[in-house]
Every structure is written in C-alpha cells, then in structure tokens.
Structure 1
C-alpha cells in the first residue's frame, strides 16, 4: 500500500495543478475547431477573422497575426467560463481524504501494534544503512582481491560471496506475518539458515551415535569369536 500511494503522488499532483491552472481546458476548447465556438470566442475582436482562423494557436502564443490584447481576452474568457479549478480543488480534497482513510484503515487492520510497527521501521532503516555499508565493503574486498591476483599473477585468495539464489531470497518483497516474526527477508533468510544448519547437525550427531552403538546381538557374536 505504501508503494501504491507513493507512486500516485506525482501523477495526482500533476493532474491537480493542471486543473487549477486551467491551461489544458484552453487548449481543448481552442482546438475543437467549431465555427460556432470560434465566433463566440472571437466576437468583438479587432482581428476577428484572424482570431477565428488561428484560434488553436492562441494558448501557445505562436501566432503573431492576432494582437496580444485579443489573445489575452480570449484566454481570460475561456478561463472564466471553465470550472476546472473547482475540479482541481475537489481532486486535492479527495486525495487528502483518501490518504487519511487509507492510513486509518491500515492502522486499524494492522496485525501488529503501533510500537512494534515503529520498531519494524527502525529496524528496516538500520538494516538498509548497514547493508549499504557492508556491500560496499565486501565489493571493495572482492575488487582488491581480483586486482591483486591479476597484477601479481597469483591464485585468488578465498573470499565467500553470497550466491545468486541467496541474493534472490533476500531481495523478494516481504510481508509481515504474525506467525513468523521476521522483520525482513534478510532476517527470515538468516533464521531459516540457522534452523537448517541445526537440523543438519542433529541428523549428523544421530547418525554418528547410531554407528558407534553396537547392537547386543553383534556383541554376542564378537564374544563368541574371541572365545574361539
């Protein structure tokens, strides 16, 4: 939801400014090329014929055959007849009310409390700052290793770098879950890796224990062989 509201800010602001200014309405009306409208807009002008012929150029101000006074009068008349400024203010009010309602609904329907949300945002900011510094530091180490190996013509020193799958896992979009309290995809990845390593260690320990413990039947066979 935050991404959507952020993405809608720029186009909504542009539309609101265009409605408040009213220039797009002037371009629309002067470009219709309707004889009745042209006669209405250019009535009582000193250069009525040129005004009607080059009406579509008046908003851009590229036609010098129409006096500046007539051009200004036509544009002022169009702006007075239009009500698009009201639409602009209505759009701004609608955006503000919609943003307020979305924020209130998101807070009420959120599965986490306000303090936890505040902690989550603080963690996300800290993680973002640290990952930038860590990636820059690791990239510098990798570049130094490669350049050192190239210029000295020696085998590269071992340096652990996350694989493509690891980068993909921590780069996916994360959605908070009350069941698994992870605060980012990186947090989830690290915790899952630790759980996987712990399970592997337990399985290895169990396999080793089973291999060292000799069943009673085999002990009996070994004792018989020793007696023989």
Structure 2
C-alpha cells in the first residue's frame, strides 16, 4: 500500500488525521487512502445492486404467478389502497357530521354502520398467499369468506391448486410483511 513512501509512514499512520505526523508525504498517503476507500465503497454498492438484481430475477422466474397476473395484482392492490383511503375519509367525515349534528341539535344519533373491531382486526392482519384460494388482499379475502354466503362459491378471485409459501415476488402485498 505504501511502497516507496518513508519507512516511518506506517508507524505514524494513526497520527495523520490529527495533523501531528512528521512524514513529508502525508498528503500523498491520505489521498491514496481516500481513493482506495472510494473504490471499495463503489465495489460494495455495485455488489449489493447486483445481488438485489439477481435475487429479483430468481424470485420472478420461480414465481407461480404469471407476469400479467402480477401486474394486475399490483394495480389491484394500489387501487384498493387508494379507495380504502378515500372511503375511510368519507366514512369518518360522515360519522363526525352525524355526531356533531346530534350534539348541537340535542337529538339521539341516527343509526350509522361501521365495521366492528373484529372485522377491522381481520382486514388489518398479515396477508398469507395461498394458491388454493387466490385472494388479492386481506380485504378481498375477508369480503369473499366472511361476508360471502356460507358454502357458496364466489368466483371473483378463487382458483384451484396446491398451497404454497409466499413467493418473494409478492413483496408489494401488505408492504412485504408476511406470516410464515
């Protein structure tokens, strides 16, 4: 590393940052160290990016879900999230208006239907991918199984097949959280 430099260079290396070294080539040595650290840093970044690319490619190649279905799933998840935000804001506003109207008019409140705590917990839980019953989100699963007629088959997202662990390619579902 320091070939051709003063012999005392290595022994006084720890004094370089403080400026207390008597080695005349101090700036050259510091420039070499900075350059080497830059090269190592860029190599580390490049290797991490390459590993991430390879893992993504392998995950997508091994996925039981086709590319077109995956794109649909991603669009569905985004639309459901957007609509949930909008519906929740509207529902909260309507409930607040009902409560304020009831308070200021001193009348009993009108009946207002809001999902119970158990329903909120079910749609807030982790989403577990299954190829037996393909649901595009935990809300989709709740609507199909808990709100659907008992024993009736609802075809909007159910497919047949064996159960499977959560594929890495589905990391966008519930922000990549999953129960294993």
Partner of 2:120: 167
| CA gap 1:143/1:77 in 2 versus in 1, 3 angstroms | same
Runs of 4+ more than 4 Å apart: 73-76
For structure 1, the 5+ residue unaligned runs are 1-34, 43-49, 56-72, 200-228
Q: Name the structure where helix makes up a greater proportion of residues.
A: 1
Distance 1:87 1:51, change over 3 A: closer
In the TM superposition, 1:70-89 aligns within 5 A as 74=26, 77-82=29-34, 83-89=36-42
Q: Could you tell me how far apart the structure 2 residues matched to 1:40 and 1:112 are?
A: 59
CA contact (8 A) 1:112 1:178 kept: no
- Retained in 2: the 8 A contact 1:170–1:186? yes
Give the Å deviation of 1:129: 0.8
Equivalent residue for 2:103?
A: 150
Displacement after TM superposition at 1:76 (Å): 5.9
RMSD: 2.7
Query: 2:141 aligned to 185, 188, 211, which one?
Result: 188
Q: Output the CA distance in 1 between the equivalents of 2:58 and 2:14.
A: 53
How does 1:18-37 map onto structure 2 within 5 Å? 36-37=11-12
1:126 lines up with 2:82 in the alignment:
no
2:91 is matched with which residue? 138
RCO comparison, higher one (Cα < 8 Å, 6+) = 2
- TM-score by structure 1 length? 0.54
Q: How far apart, in 2, do the equivalents of 1:75 and 1:135 lie?
A: 62
